[in-house]
Amino acid sequence: MCNKVATCLLPLALMAMASMAHAAGEADGVLQWEQKAALSLPVSGVIESMNVVPGQRVVKGTVLLSLDKRPFQYRLQSAKFRMAQFVPGRDEARNELQRAEDLYERTVLSQVELDQAKIDFAEKDARYLEARADVDQAELDLEYTELKAPFDLIVLKNHVVIGQTVINRLQATPLVSVAGGQLVAVISLNPEQVVGLDIGSGINTSIAGKAHSGKVKVIDYDARSGLVEITILIEDLPAATVGQRVHITW
């Protein structure tokens, strides 16, 4: 009788073990944006225009906001004027060097005089190049007065308003918070729960009662909390919202 009972219970035990092996773990997570960033500018100035609002989707290269360009235009103009002052002297020194080299080749000019012509041109050329670098920097600063979308994104929050002065001397001031990419599921697990999971591992997810397949994309250990954060790409993700709960099994 005992053998018969054991024989009957064996399939049930095997089924239970198979079920346990199939569902090694489970956890609840939330949907988050794959990319999030707080955008800023490397220059200081006064906000002149705000071109986007929270919730707006924009394509890469769209101008999100701009600073008052006038101070930057004045600096660029001043730098160009300064550079122009060094052009005649540089050109004259170059011509003098060419003449000196020609006379030296004909043994009419001494080595000392040739060296002096070289030094004179090098000094005036250095002054011109320094002024040219100032022009290049002024042009770059003028470009930086516009904050452009670095990728296709959705605007999450504007941190500044028109007329506000932004100072970025010591630390860049966040101007616009954005998100991009697709929605992904994020869960936090204890290290022992991650055993067996790896990049590319298959994951089963359930959103609003509907099952979807997924794959592990990122495994990141947070030293402060001692937890492991798992990012999961979900295939055929239906219409969903940030913060929506996701049930995950593996």
CATH number, domain at 114?
1.10.287
Last residue of a domain, one of 99, 128, 144: 144
How does pLDDT run across 124-178, given as a tens digit for each residue?
999 999 999 999 999 999 999 999 999 999 999 999 999 999 999 889 999 999 9
167-220, pLDDT tens digit by residue? 998 899 999 999 998 899 999 999 988 888 899 999 999 998 889 999 999 999
Structure tokens of 227? 């937890």
Query: Looking at 18-27, 87-96, 186-195, which range is the least confident one?
Result: 18-27
pLDDT digits (tens, 9 = 90+) for 82-91: 999 999 999 9
For a pLDDT cut of 70, what percent of the chain falls above it?
A: 90
pLDDT value at residue 24? 66
Supply the CATH number for residue 221's domain.
2.40.50.100
Retrieve residue 153's tokens: 């994104």
User: Exposed, middle or buried, 234 (CB in 10 Å: 0-12/13-18/19+)?
Assistant: buried
Residue range of the domain that includes 228? 24-68+147-249
CB 147 within 8 A of CB 63: yes
For residue 142 the two structure tokens come to 């003028």
> Residue 5 has what pLDDT?
45
Domain check: are 180 and 105 in the same one? no
Band (pLDDT 50/70/90 cuts) for residue 16 is very low
In the predicted model, is pLDDT for residue 20 greater than 50?
no
